[in-house]
Amino acid sequence: MIKNIVFDFNGTLVDDLDVSIDALNECIKKYLVDVELVSKERYLEIFRFPVGPLYQELGFDFTKIDYNELANFFISYYQSRAFNECKLFDEVIPVLKSLKNEGFKLYILSASYIDLLIEMLKKYGILEYFDGLVALENKHGGSKIERGKAYFAEHQIDPSECIMIGDTVHDIEVAHELGMDCISYDKGHNSHSKLKSINPKVISSLFEIRNHLN
């Protein structure tokens, strides 16, 4: 029986796709020469975690470009626009209210930096809906899987009583590694077809979550 619903954040609750693509392309313009910018269509097919190998495929040579410098540039650009331009998906607040009223415990499991995540949740007015936040302790990435395992163990959460809502192939992988089922949301960072090729449970509206909880 599902008691806990674990949400990804970026691309699942907040629509940050365009800003994320622009941030990636700003990195390409700053650090690379004669490399084609990434279109939205291409991004939706190639985006994945960890991002390091993806960046290398795009032409970033980490023997010549410092990864931390690149990450800081990306984060700085992203943050300069995210707070003003990135909005919650329209269904988020009514869906969170409904699930909370039905007695589900709600969590976020995100690859975001924890301080930034909290700041954004406060800005959007949805921090109060969540029973726990699982995010990364530094700005340069890390493993959602390891953070999730540690949190579940510490708080004695049974993964078989959880379902994850995420927008990427990586979220499917994370859910399976943690022993959870997964619902994929197709308005985020991977295309519907890419998600559907791996996970039969793909939704186009967060209101559809309820159809998969019985």
List, for residues 42-67, the tens digit of each pLDDT value: 999 999 988 999 999 999 999 999 99
What pLDDT is attached to residue 87? Answer: 96
Give per-residue pLDDT as tens, 166-192.
Answer: 999 999 999 999 999 999 999 999 999
| Whether 161 contacts 3, CB under 8 Å | yes
- For the entire predicted model, the pTM comes to 0.93
Give per-residue pLDDT as tens, 123-168.
Answer: 999 999 999 999 987 655 567 899 999 999 999 999 999 999 999 9
Helix (H) or strand (E) holding 135: strand 132-136
| Secondary structure (DSSP) of 35-90 | -PPPPHHHHHHH--SSHHHHHHHHT--TTTS-HHHHHHHHHHHHHHHHHHH-EE-T
Provide the b/e sequence for 154-171 (b: ≥16 CB within 10 Å).
Answer: eeebebeebbbbbbbbbb
What pLDDT is attached to residue 113? Answer: 82
Residue 149 in tokens:
């395992």
